[in-house]
């Protein structure tokens, strides 16, 4: 009376593999984006930290270090913002890595 066609297991595996491949490709692209952003922030963090150290050294011999203090305060705020962002990027990287492991385990089962 009613005829239902059941898909073949091979077709299901092919569909699953293709879907998981797209997921893996997307996750790897996101991981690359996160790593590039983190690399850039680490570079700026290092440069800003060096600038702060030089500013601090310059303050040592100055009687009225007002402008240096303002600059150092600004640099300190920037450094803290970089640290906060880098920490957040690290947590995102950890999350993506965990998802990649999980997705890869599905992939190996196919």
Tell me which residue of 47, 54, 41 sits closest to 87, measured CA to CA: 41
CATH dotted code for 31-109: 1.20.58
pLDDT tens-digit profile of 20-77?
999 999 999 999 999 999 999 999 999 999 999 999 998 888 888 888 999 999 999 9
Report the 10 Å Cβ neighbour count for 64. Answer: 7
CB 28 within 8 A of CB 100: yes
Q: Where are the domains of the chain?
A: 31-109
* 82 touches 44 (CB < 8 A): yes
- Residues 65-88 have pLDDT tens digits of 888 999 999 999 999 999 999 999
pTM (2 decimals)? Answer: 0.81
Region for 62 from its dihedrals, namely left if φ exceeds 0, alpha if ψ lies in -120 to 50, beta otherwise? beta
CB atoms within 10 A of CB 55: 20
């Amino acid at each position: 009376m009613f005829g239902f066609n059941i898909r073949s297991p091979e077709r299901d595996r092919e569909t699953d593999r293709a879907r998981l491949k797209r997921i893996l490709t997307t996750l790897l692209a996101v991981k690359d984006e996160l790593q590039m952003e983190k690399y850039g922030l680490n570079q700026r963090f290092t440069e800003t930290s060096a600038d702060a150290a030089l500013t601090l050294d310059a303050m040592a011999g100055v009687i009225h270090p007002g402008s240096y203090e303002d600059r150092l305060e600004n640099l300190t705020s920037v450094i803290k913002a970089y640290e906060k962002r880098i920490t957040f990027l690290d947590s995102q990287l950890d999350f993506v890595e965990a998802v990649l492991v999980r997705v890869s385990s599905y992939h190996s089962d196919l």
